Structure 1
Amino acid sequence: MTTSALPLDEATFENPFVEELRGEVSGNKGSRQVPGYHYSRVTPTPVRDPQLLAWSEELGDYLGLAEPVARGAATAILAGNILLPSMKPFAARYGGHQFGNWAGQLGDGRAISLGQVVATDGTRQEIQLKGAGPTPYSRRADGRAVLRSSVREFLCSEAMHHLGVPTTRALSLVETGDQVVRDMFYDGNARPEPGAIVARVAPTFVRFGSFQILAAQGEIDNLRALADYVIHHHYPELGAPSPEVYVRWFAEIARRTAVMVAHWMTMGFVHGVLNTDNMSILGLTIDYGPYGWLEPYDPDWTPNTTDFGGRRYAFGQQPRIGMWNLMALAQALGPLVADPQALRAGLDIYAETFADTEHALWLRKLGLTAHDPASDRALTEALPAVLAEAGVDMTVFFRQLSHLPPALLAADAQQENLFNELLAQAAYSTAPGADLALREWLHRYALRLQQESAQPEAVRESMLGANPKYVLRNYLAQLAIEAAETGDLTKLDTLFEVLKTPFAEHPAHEELAAKRPEWAQDKPGSATLSCSS
């Protein structure tokens, strides 16, 4: 902990979103339409017995905040039971397309922002409580969150950060002491579960849908005001807002979104519910719900039971959906520019940036430097199909491959044995011939590796720094959740610590790097999830 860290109850909050944009100040938490506003002022609903379960020390240090005691004033703030005089809490209004259909007004139905704090690097970071009670946008829901979904959001937000993926962060996990009734799979089996609140952190939580609702309702002045606010505070390098700047701004949003999705695709991450209201205007991974990590590599896999019918948000669809969502945002921003067709350049930038970033990330995972562009692209573009055909575990495959360059370059005669061992460790499928295409690809890769000028050990170290040994597999999260629900935080704490250094070996925790076990293949929460939380 930094020596200058302040207790949260002594922190000063800033409130530019509230002070610079148009808000409803009635304080009425009743669910309703809120036309004409960017947000509603609303206070969190107190909980019975807040207790701190987990704290991100690294993020706390970055924010200059000291770790709270399990029960105390700071923890009460993180639960929404205490507000500081400098806070002006609010719930944001936004809309969105959900599974491709316009859903109208959505908004922060259970998330309440407390305001911003100034981090140690001088940037301003918004702290938002997820699960803090009803707001005008709760749509007949209770505004609460359960422990299982809160554990998943806390762990994955920080895990993704340490993997180098653009993401929102999570500061704390607080158990509320209240029970929350949820139907986990929407099958009529509702039951009470422990409630929890996550304090999540980002420069802003403005989404694509924040602009869509304003355009859909014809609130052009509000649309322009929100665009100007975001550019001024989060894209100041673009200059003063103008129709020309709006075009450049959209192109930069598209570029950042492409970089984010390329990271997902080369890490095997499946967001699970890429509605336009779940797309950050900063190109950050946001709203960790029914996400998952590829175990058998399968482009058609989705962890979200709600998406089983159409698989709109399956792993392999994510680049296309990123483009679709950007098109929806472009449509919303159209009234701000002289020629809406000018925004199409941003969509081209998305496609180009995604292709270039994904290729660069694949090369890094393979320990290769740019050589022959056409040949290198042919090598990386062939990889997803052969991984899918072989049904390998993506994380295990690349981690084990990372160890091979010295041996591959030292003895050609041993290549087949090395590949046999690699596939025995990484493959789920035992179907005869399933790995033939992948074996052929591995031989091509070994030949390409010989063209690298770096020493084999240097290539190995580079690959080990690009291919994590540990990711937040759903079954690991579920084991931590089940233990936490009984009051045992050991699994949660261990998993959190290991995921902070996912590229390290951690020999004492090899079990956390294992492929998905047989028992987890169909277990609720360990393989698939719903949007229920």
Structure 2
Amino acid sequence: MLDRELAQLAKSLPIQNRFADTLPGDHSGDHSSREVLGACYSDAIPRPAKAPKLVVYAAEVAQLLGLPAQQCESEAFSHVFSGRTLLPDMQPYAMCYGGHQFGHWAGQLGDGRAINLGEVSAADTLWSLQLKGAGRTPYSRHADGLAVLRSSVREFLCSEAMHHLGVSTTRALSLVLTGESVTRDMFYDGHPQREPGAVVCRVAKSFVRFGSFEIFAHRGEQALLKQLADYTITEHYPQLMDGEIGCDTYVRWFTEIVERTARLMADWMRVGFVHGVMNTDNLSIIGDTIDYGPYGWLEGYDPNWTPNTTDAEGRRYCYGAQPNIGLWNLVRLANAIYPLVGEAKPLEDALERYSEVFADTRSADMAAKLGLAQYRDEDGHLIEDLLTLLQQTETDMTLFFRRLSQIDVPLLATGVDWASLSPLHDAYYVDVPSAVRQQTCEWITRYLRRTQESLSLAGESERDRKARMDSVNPKYVLRNYLAQVAIEQAEQGDYSEVNRLLNCLRNPYDDQPEFDCYAAKRPEWARVKPGCSMLSCSS
């Protein structure tokens, strides 16, 4: 039975090995932790899962790959996507890359707990498959290369949640238990515990990162640097090619990366997402969100908030710093690919595009969040005053913007007072001081006057305004406490909440009465509960 299922799965997933076949690799057979020179990747073998068991899979991702539901629910599927069994054409490998971590060059990093299985061509798109948590590779250093259920649930759900929010991201096909326990010290405080092991199958058009180029530039391996750049352009930026790849091609390529990264940062800011670990090895060369570790969504609006315990002191990667860090990382990438261009000026000009694209995207996003038909320069003051106001008392960002669409222009006729703003009241975590209530009423009055003008000029109705706002202001986001509740149930063998959350997050902008309990601010018990506020990089 299993052999027949594996044969059917292999037929549905015709594996290619374009990355491994095109670029130089380390085929030494030495899987010990070590420095790997002269290679873009190393051969790696997944650790066979002892007793694989499917927790959940994403039907939309399976459909992307051409996998029918029946095969996703088969024993063979769990075997392959836990690493227990390889399909015939799979040539697994781990990528070599370096990176700047918390502002400092960290040297060789690489896929320490991720193993690539190859690529699948579906609907004219080449999708890379990668197992996260499948065991040691030459880049694991002193770690075991494994992952636990706790972090795997978070990775799986967030990958899909971000996609449905309209944010560029890697995807998640499946989450499979390995049937073994893994020792982890969740907060690095000397209290390790045994946790269920798990593997997530991640899916992306590319897993190449900024750090993939930094490592070769740092080592002076310019031939490898060029080979990887040419491969990336050919596979992922073919529209930039005009004959042979040359200096102008690399500049156009870098400019596109700059613009994609700027738009990604604006999208993160729009939905209140905080990545938590924006090291250069965690930024995708194609502009996807990649590597979901200690992430979080803003609850109380605070630009200085970070979900990462490791970043608690410096707050380098806090919400408000993300746009600047995106640019900082792009400068590191520019330095890495400089040998391909030979001139600094074209790369500096490309970097200038970052601020322009981010500002334009951010302005358009904020105008849409406020329901304005278009952004005007003077709207900047209205927006900045609101963001300052939200910091005056603990205000839930997601709820405030979602509920703002319920405050209508006709309110101007009767006058704005605190009682008339009742749709917003649930967005506050504390009793709002009288001074802040007054400031809020004054801001709402200004806002409604601007809204009235916008609707009149555009010939639109309040219904048009609400539709615009609801299309960019999600009702449902993956709050940390929601993920933690699902994790705790899953650790007891109940996966219903993981599936229920996934179903809700598929339509984050729609009213879903059956999921209204997820559209509420964080409960007080979750303020300091482990896993519900700040998290570590422990996996």
* Coarse TM-score class (shorter-chain normalised): over 0.9
Structure 2 residue aligned with 1:391: 394
Q: 2:87 aligns with which of 77, 84, 88?
A: 84
Preserved contact between residue 8 and residue 66 of structure 1 (Cα < 8 Å): no
| Contact 1:467/1:503 (<8 A) preserved | yes
Amino acid at match of 2:99: G
RMSD: 1.5
Kept in 2: contact 1:9–1:73 (CA 8 A): no
- Judged with a 3 Å threshold, the aligned counterparts in structure 2 of structure 1 residues 192 and 383 are, in CA distance, closer, same or farther, namely same
Q: Distance in 1 between matches of 2:119 and 2:240?
A: 23
Matched residue, 2:207: 205
Q: 1:133 to 1:458 in 2, by over 3 A?
A: same
Q: What is residue 449 of structure 1 aligned with on the other side?
A: 451
Counterpart residue number, 2:414: 413
Partner of 2:114: 111
Comparing 11-20 with 408-417, greater Cα deviation is found at 408-417
Q: What SS does the corresponding residue of 1:421 show, helix, strand or coil?
A: helix
Tell me if 1:460 matches 2:463. no
- Give the alignment partner of residue 534 of structure 2, picking from 509, 528, 532: 528
Displacement of 1:347 in angstroms is 1.5
Residue 504 of structure 1, aligned match among 502, 507, 510: 510
> Residues of 2 paired with 1:362 and 1:504: CA distance?
19
Distance across 2 between alignment mates of 1:188 and 1:153: 25
* Alpha-carbon distance, 1:88 to partner: 1.5
Q: Deviations over 1:438-466 (max 9, x none)?
A: 43322221111101121111211221222
Instruction: Tell me what 1:473 maps to.
Output: 479
Tell me which residue corresponds to 1:134.
136
1:110-133: CA deviations, max 9, x gaps?
Answer: 1001111112x2110101000011
CA distance in 2, matches of 1:310, 1:7: 51
User: Is residue 516 of structure 1 aligned with residue 522 of structure 2?
Assistant: yes
Helix, strand or coil for the counterpart of 1:141? coil
Q: What does residue range 140-219 of structure 1 map to in structure 2 within 5 Å?
A: 140-219=142-221
Deviations 1:381-424 (A, max 9, x none): 333222222321011001111223xx333653153256531341
Aligned mates of 1:301, 1:430 — CA distance in 2: 21
2:379 counterpart residue number? 376
Moved more, 222-231 or 79-88: 79-88
Q: Retained in 1: the 8 A contact 2:418–2:441?
A: no
SS of the residue corresponding to residue 176 of structure 2 reads strand
Equivalent AA in structure 1 for residue 26 of structure 2 = E
- Looking at structure 2, the residues matched to 282 and 93 of structure 1 have their Cα atoms a distance apart, in angstroms, of 17
Query: Is the alpha carbon distance of 1:259 and 1:436 closer, same or farther for their aligned partners in structure 2, counting shifts above 3 Å?
Result: farther
In structure 1, how many angstroms separate the alpha carbons of the residues matched to 2:273 and 2:350? 25
Task: State the partner residue of 2:62.
Answer: 60
Q: Give the aligned partner of residue 282 of structure 1.
A: 286
Q: Secondary structure at the match of 2:91?
A: coil
**Whole-Å separation in 1 of the counterparts to 2:286 and 2:138:** 25
Tell me the residue number matched to 2:50: 48
- Report the Cα distance in structure 2 between the residues aligned to 1:274 and 1:393, rounded to whole angstroms: 24
The AA in structure 2 aligned to 1:368 is L
1:252 aligns with 2:256: yes
* Identity across matched positions, percent: 52
Question: How do 1:231-380 and structure 2 match up within 5 A?
Answer: 231-239=233-241, 240-370=244-374, 373-380=376-383
When normalised by structure 1's length, the TM-score is: 0.96
In the alignment of these two chains, the number of paired residues is 524
Return the alpha-carbon distance in structure 2 between the equivalents of residues 143 and 436 of structure 1.
Answer: 54
> Where does residue 228 of structure 1 map in the other structure?
230
Q: CA deviation at 1:202?
A: 0.6
Q: Is 1:96 equivalent to 2:99 in the alignment? A: yes
Return structure 1 stretches of 4+ with deviation > 4 angstroms. Answer: none
Task: Report which stretch shifted further, 300-309 or 436-445.
Answer: 436-445
| Contact 1:266 1:362 (C-alpha < 8 Å) held by counterparts | yes
Question: What residue is the counterpart of 2:501 in the other structure?
Answer: 495
Q: How high is the TM-score relative to the length of structure 2?
A: 0.95
Q: Is the 8 A contact 1:389 1:435 kept in 2?
A: no
Aligned 1:20-31 pairs, distance under 5 A = 20-31=22-33
